[in-house]
Amino acid sequence: MIVAIDGPAGAGKSTLSRRLAERLGFRFLDTGAMYRAVALAAMRRQVDPSDAEAIGRVAAETTITFSEERVFLNGEDVTEEIRTPAVTTAIRYAADNPDVRRRLVEEQRHIGEGGNLVTEGRDQGTVAFPDAACKIFLTASPEERARRRVEDLRNRGQSASFEEILAEQTERDRRDQTRPVGRLIKAEDAVELCTDGMTPEEVVSRMEQIVQAAQEKQQAKR
């Protein structure tokens, strides 16, 4: 079974989806990490960001693998480096590139062929796995997402202004929702889950219930 989880930045998708996968005993795929890895590879090669063809070539020549919770770019552990602000800023050159998206979606489907998988991103229920048996659209209000992010940064000893984080997030939302290919949109058959006011534990339990309901529906069809 494929569990496709999409939603905006800061909704807690990665952490919660990973926990859900652990509970279900499913594999987990963080597709944002794939776009981050391509952006990092392009930065390292000093590719001109406006050269879409060259960025497509970078994706073709890049091998991204996962092991436990680590991400590897051509065999090198880049788990921390793909989360730096420089990569986050450059990501749009990879995420807006149709050639990159085509290759990464192909790779995601290939991983999906291995069976039971929780996969999260922006286009998992719409483009990568339109036939997924279970789709969840995970959201939270912009203010709640920004508040959580500020708290997260402060817990890590970094200073953060709520207004600045909210403004950055609004810009990311706009980009995610207006990208010509693979834009963030709720699949018609996805269950929307707004996590405002819920604890992480409550969200994972609710997600588990949604998966169980989808499993029962799937079994009833057989």
Min CB(40)–ligand DC separation in Å? 11
Q: Is 123 in the site for ligand DC (CB under 6 A)?
A: yes
- Count of residues interacting with ligand DC (CB under 6 A): 13
Helices 52-60 & 98-112, crossing angle to 10 degrees?
Answer: 20
List 17, 31, 62, 169, residue binding ligand DC (CB under 6 A): 31
Binding mask 51-70 for ligand DC (x = CB under 6 A): --------------------
Q: How many CA atoms lie within 13 A of 57 on its CB side?
A: 8
In this structure, what token pair is assigned to residue 165? 């984080």
Q: Which stretch binds ligand DC (CB under 6 A): 32-40, 50-58, 144-152, 204-212?
A: 32-40
Task: Note whether 55 and 38 are within 8 A (CB).
Answer: yes
Using alpha carbons, select from 146, 142, 127, 118 the residue that is nearest to residue 186.
127
Helices 85-95 & 31-44, crossing angle to 10 degrees?
Answer: 100
Q: Please report the sign of the dihedral spanned by the C-alpha atoms of residue 8, residue 146, residue 79, residue 194.
A: negative
Site for ligand DC in 76-95 (CB under 6 A): 91, 95
Site for ligand DC in 181-200 (CB under 6 A): 182
- Of residues 57 and 172, the one with the C-beta less far from ligand DC: 172
| Rounded Cα–Cα distance for residues 85 and 82 (Å) | 9
| Rounded Cα–Cα distance for residues 217 and 134 (Å) | 10
User: Does an H or E element contain 4, and which?
Assistant: strand 2-6
- Of residues 33 and 210, the one with the C-beta less far from ligand DC: 33
Q: Is 12 in the site for ligand DC (CB under 6 A)?
A: no
Q: Which stretch binds ligand DC (CB under 6 A): 30-38, 136-144, 154-162, 204-212?
A: 30-38
Q: Is 149 in the site for ligand DC (CB under 6 A)?
A: no
Residues interacting with ligand DC, by CB under 6 A?
A: 9, 31-32, 35-36, 91, 95, 121-123, 172, 176, 182
